[in-house]
A and B are shown apart, each in its own frame.
Chain A
């Protein structure tokens, strides 16, 4: 146990240590350990049902891990509400279905958590939110309700909403899967910019080009386990494991 925690805390910003996720008795993620360094972009790829999203959601305890530990900056996240909230303040999340608040404008969506979670004064939070909306190219949509925005714009607002918390890590759960390719492209461009600015990111994605071009490392998962981890270039071009080869062949020959 001692040796294990030593290895996971070595200058990693985010560490997963023996993480399992189970729904009732059914385990969907088995014993995953992974270190993410500050500024690193890690892509999680694999067939659907591989447990990628479950693993991602375990990081901020939307699915509390059934076993194992999550460490942020070497500190283990405990089971208390206070400990969870501390983690969630530092870990931004972007969902496949955006999950914007439909009754609030884009600006209000982005301002909400800085004001009510962090206690930032309203005027200051407004400036911060406007800055983030400008960052994702939607300053002119500040006063628009999500329902009046395209899917791509909604997802960029959702990214701005997560960024307004000034997180240390951003989690993306298939952020382009519910978008057509053209709208997906504008979201990917935003994510590319973020990666270029040094944001630490963990991205569940089916976009192989994004994984290859933007990610530093790629994790291939199947059947709830990590099958192969390597630098993006190596894993995508020269996969070692037959299961990874099969998956990449299938995806590319589509």
Chain B
């Protein structure tokens, strides 16, 4: 058990890095996707809708291979497996998060938009000062759920050679043939890594609801 753990522990850093970096990419790209999908003009809406649908329709493992074999090994671009994994997972989760953002934006009553418009607030300021602060509380819980899902999906990165927990478990099993033990420990590691995300989400949720209640 301790021996297995000491080998798999080499993958923890990579798993955490892929998860966090992909989440940042997803969180940043998801917002413009959500805003574009709410645009009045279909010219702006269409590319966002297409992107989200395609990203969600293709299995993550296929998507990672696509990114890896296009950007990871062309003559012009040479992405590391880490970079390819972050781009691939980041894009998929940007599509997921854009849905969460959109739900958050939809939850803001139309009266808030109208008040901002009646005050001639510039569009950017309307989002920044009026709309987004009110979406945060709605968006944080699903974001935390997606963060945990992303942590688990990061295991797929091992197929393109990212040296994460799952990669270490596969390697170790090829040597010692103790698949059950190795992957059971891997599973426990993923559970342990997910706990702080869950706690973080609950904490953020508490702080935000307190702040919005105006205490």
A residues sitting closer than 8 Å to B (CB atoms) are 60, 62, 84-86, 88-89, 91-93, 95, 97, 99-103, 105, 112-113, 116-117, 144-148, 161-162, 165
Instruction: Give the CA-CA distance A85 to B125 in the complex, in Å.
Output: 13
Given contacts A103-B134, A145-B214, is CB(A95)–CB(B120) below 8 Å? no
Which residues on B sit within 8 Å (CB–CB) of A84? 120
Tell me the bound Cα distance from A112 to B211 in angstroms: 19
Check B178 for interface membership: any CB of A closer than 8 A: no
A243 to chain B, nearest CB (A): 31
Q: Which residue of B lies closest to A145 (CB)?
A: B214
Which residues of B (77-128) have their CB < 8 Å from a CB of A? 109, 111-112, 114-115, 117-122, 125
| CA distance in complex: A42, B146 (Å) | 54
Identify which of residues 179-215 in chain B touch chain A, using a CB-to-CB cut-off of 8 Å.
211-214
Residue B130 lies at the interface, judged by CB distance under 8 Å to chain A: yes
- Indicate which residue in B111, B114, B115, B120 contacts A89 across the interface (CB closer than 8 Å): B120
In the docked arrangement, what's the CA distance between A145 and B109, Å? 18
Question: At the interface, yes or no: B32 with Cβ under 8 Å from chain A?
Answer: no
Interface contacts (Cβ under 8 Å), in number, total 70
Given A113-B119, A145-B214, A148-B214, A103 and B133 contact (CB-CB distance below 8 Å):
yes
Contacts of B112 in A (CB 8 A): 99, 101
A-B contact pairs, 27 of them (CB 8 A): A62-B114, A84-B120, A85-B120, A85-B122, A88-B117, A88-B118, A88-B120, A93-B118, A95-B115, A97-B111, A99-B109, A99-B115, A101-B129, A102-B212, A103-B133, A103-B212, A112-B119, A112-B121, A113-B120, A116-B121, A116-B122, A117-B119, A117-B125, A145-B213, A145-B214, A162-B118, A165-B119
Q: Which residues of A contact B119 (CB under 8 A)?
A: 88, 112-113, 117, 161-162, 165
In the complex, which residues of chain B have a beta carbon less than 8 angstroms from the beta carbon of A95? 111, 114-115, 118
- Give the distance in Å from the alpha carbon of A92 to the alpha carbon of B125 in the complex: 18
**For this complex, into which size category does the number of interface residues on chain B fall?**
20 to 34
Contacts of B125 in A (CB 8 A): 116-117
Cβ of B210 to closest chain A Cβ, rounded Å: 12
Residues of chain A lying within 8 A (CB to CB) of residue B109: 99
Q: Enumerate chain B residues within 8 angstroms of A165, measured Cβ to Cβ.
A: 119-120
Chain B residues closer than 8 Å to A162, beta-carbon distance = 118-119
Q: Given A88-B119, A147-B213, does the pair A116, B129 have CB atoms closer than 8 Å?
A: yes
Q: Is the CB of B118 within 8 A of A60?
A: yes
CB B193 to nearest CB in A, in angstroms, measures 33
Question: From B112, which residue of chain A is reached at the shortest CB distance?
Answer: A99
Q: Considering the complex, give the chain B residue whose CB is closest to the CB of A171.
A: B118
